[in-house]
Structure 1
Amino acid sequence: MATTQLSDIFVGDYYATLEPVNSPEKTAVYDSGIITRSPVLDAIANGSQGTAEVSYWQDLDADEAPNISNDDPDDLGEVGKASQASMTARVLYLNKGYGVADLTAELANSEPMQHIRNRFGTYWTRQWQRYTLGAARGIIASNIANNDGDMVIDAGASISAEAFQDAAFTAGDAADQFGAIGVHSVVMNQMVKQDLIEYLRDSEGRIILATYLGKPVFMDDSLTYAPGQYLSVFFGNGAFGYGEGTPKMPVELERKPSGGNGGGAEVLWERKTYILQPAGFSWKGANAQNASPTAAQYASAANWERVFDRKQVPFAAVISGTAAGG
């Protein structure tokens, strides 16, 4: 009986045109509007060597008083200036391969290319989620270590509406910038018990979105700060800038005649070049091109430095749990 091999059905150009079918994880994060595709970051991802400087214009200093006009032609008005600063963005060079043995079972009586693409779509979605939440943990930890925690509220043993409100107002009159909240399932359970959660339902009454004060709430159990502590994070729209480069060979099929103890094997590889840049923070970690950071290294306080004023940074956080309460 003949066996279908990936090499019999793999067409690289066709494969590359298929859209991945994303897991529910991606909907929760991306639909909240916290990640914005940036042509600038796309260009950096395509042309940098691991890290790159992203320049931005500083706002005009409103503390500089305007000149008072008069009729003296020799009284020259003071002239202010616009200045630039920069932050460092880190490029991620990632790849993953799946062996044919894992995929061929999914190919029978189905559209094979779409099944392969679906599998990778889900895999990369989950990796993207881990890097996003890792960066969120890292910048909050950096804020506590380096900025006196001016973006963070300690809620004690259990979450409360007051703690959430205090966290949002760490941004002062920019508190209305936050568009989504990420919480641990333990915190979500506490919010439900305290009637803090409202639900949007479809026409048949099925829950389609959990919200708090009109803001989407998504759950992820990686939102911890320390053993026994949970990290709830407010995100503003565009909290993360996203860029994607094009690897030399984005997708490739490898034939291994000696694999399977000589019976033959095939491996399908995908390669990704990403930038995920939290707004207002600069990467301080390693910049070696061949040593992209892991999601866990993204969560390290030592790898991030805030370069924006507090009000310009679309993040705030609440730490809760037994350790936080003493």
Structure 2
Amino acid sequence: MATTRLTDVIVPEVFFQYIIKRTKETSAILNSGILRADANLSSFLSGGGRTANVPFWKDLTDNGSNIGSDDPAELSVPDKITAGKDIAARQVRTKSWSSMRLSGVLAGDDPMKAIGNLVGDWWARNLQDILVSTLHGVYTDNVAANAGDMVNNISVTSGSPSSVNLISAEAILDTKQTMGDAAEDLNTLIMHSAIYTRLQKQNLIDFIPDARGEVRFPTYLGYRVVVSDRVKVINNGSGNPSGYVTYLLGNDAIAFNEQPMTTSPNVEVERKPDQGNGVGGDILYTRRQFVMHPYGIAWQDSSVAKEFPTNLELEAAANWSRVYPERKQIPISFLITNG
């Protein structure tokens, strides 16, 4: 009986579109509305370079209006309209699997779909990790360079936490207040399941139907709630309480664009005749090229060892710098609690 191979069941062009679709469908974070497709970044990905300039217009200064006069010698002095420059980084990530690891699904009725589900789910988790590391880089830069004006940290790093160190309505409201009168731009809470469970115990989670009236999603204080254990948990050392990071974000806070690579196919299957002691096997390669960028926080590329940043490098404060003039222009806030 002939053995089914990856080369028999995977059509690269179809397979790649399937895993992109699967990634979006299975990731609550990526599907929450916080990501925005930016045509300028798509153009950048089609070309070359490690970084892209993202120009923006700075807000007009509040110098007040002129007082009208009938004196022709009194002239209105125009204020300047100035532009700023945001910077986004190109990212290329790859992952490969051998057919021996995928052998269990090759025997199914629809092996390409089955493998696509596995690969799409893996990439969904990986992209969530990249997003969390990106947000943590924004957090570390904000604490280091902007006095933590995007952060409400009520946690303790040692001893025993009390109720004031835990998630609460007051803590969420204080966090949204970091946006001042622009707080209405925030609409999504992303939190760890331990935080979500604490709110459930307090009967503070509401559920509302989606646009079709079918699937209910949780809300808290009017914010949509997304639960993921892949959010950042700060380790304060053995025996010390952990710090849970809860994110309060607005729609389109982060640019996300993906384009096929021009130098390598997105999906490739390589035949390895020497595997299995000559029986042979296949290796499935997947490649993703994208930009994931928080608007207003310019990528500095100050501490990157290789061509593209790792997750740890994304978390480094030195690699980010806020360029939007006002904090309230960036719909991202952080709440740190002990539970």
- Is TM more than 0.5 here? yes
1:50 — aligned with what?
A: 50
Distance 1:137 1:289, change over 3 A: closer
Pairwise CA distance, 1:238:
0.7
2:142 — aligned with what?
A: 143
1:71 — aligned with what?
A: 70
Paired residue secondary structure (1:32): coil
2:107 — aligned with what?
A: 108
Amino acid at match of 1:70: S
- The question of 1:184 aligning with 2:183 is answered no
| Residue of structure 1 aligned with 2:256, choices 235, 242, 255 | 242
CA contact (8 A) 2:179 2:327 kept: yes
> Structure 1 stretch 184-193 or stretch 90-99: which is displaced more?
184-193
1:295 — aligned with what?
A: 311
- The question of 1:225 aligning with 2:234 is answered yes
> Structure 1 stretch 120-129 or stretch 9-18: which is displaced more?
9-18
Q: Counterparts of 1:131-210 in structure 2 under 5 Å?
A: 131-156=130-155, 157-200=165-208, 208-210=216-218
Superposition TM-score, scaled by structure 1 size: 0.89
Deviations 1:222-270 (A, max 9, x none): 3223431111110111111112122131111111122233221211111
- The question of 1:270 aligning with 2:286 is answered yes
Pairwise CA distance, 1:116:
2.7
Of Structure 1 and Structure 2, the greater strand share is in 1
CA RMSD, Structure 1 to Structure 2 (Å): 2.4
Distance 1:200 1:153, change over 3 A: same
Paired residue secondary structure (2:318): helix
1:315 — aligned with what?
A: 332
In 2, distance between residues paired with 1:135 and 1:166?
A: 23
Instruction: State the number of aligned residues.
Output: 318
Pairwise CA distance, 1:107:
2.7
Pairwise CA distance, 1:86:
0.7
1:90 — aligned with what?
A: 89
In 1, distance between residues paired with 2:257 and 2:286?
A: 17
What are the ranges of 5 or more consecutive residues in structure 1 without an aligned counterpart? none
Amino acid at match of 2:123: W
Identical-residue share of aligned pairs (%): 33
In 1, distance between residues paired with 2:171 and 2:193?
A: 17
In 1, distance between residues paired with 2:154 and 2:203?
A: 17
Paired residue secondary structure (1:230): strand
In 2, distance between residues paired with 1:282 and 1:104?
A: 44
Paired residue secondary structure (1:267): strand
Paired residue secondary structure (2:218): strand
CA contact (8 A) 1:134 1:299 kept: yes
In 2, distance between residues paired with 1:127 and 1:32?
A: 16
CA contact (8 A) 1:154 1:163 kept: no
> Structure 1 stretch 282-291 or stretch 6-15: which is displaced more?
282-291
Amino acid at match of 1:55: P
In 2, distance between residues paired with 1:77 and 1:23?
A: 53
Amino acid at match of 1:94: R
- The question of 1:12 aligning with 2:28 is answered no
Pairwise CA distance, 1:288:
6.6
Superposition TM-score, scaled by structure 2 size: 0.86
Amino acid at match of 1:216: R
Pairwise CA distance, 1:286:
4.6
Amino acid at match of 1:295: N
Pairwise CA distance, 1:84:
1.1
What are the ranges of 5 or more consecutive residues in structure 2 without an aligned counterpart? 156-164, 237-241
CA contact (8 A) 1:183 1:223 kept: no
In 2, distance between residues paired with 1:149 and 1:67?
A: 36
CA contact (8 A) 1:34 1:179 kept: no
Distance 1:242 1:260, change over 3 A: same
Distance 1:25 1:217, change over 3 A: farther
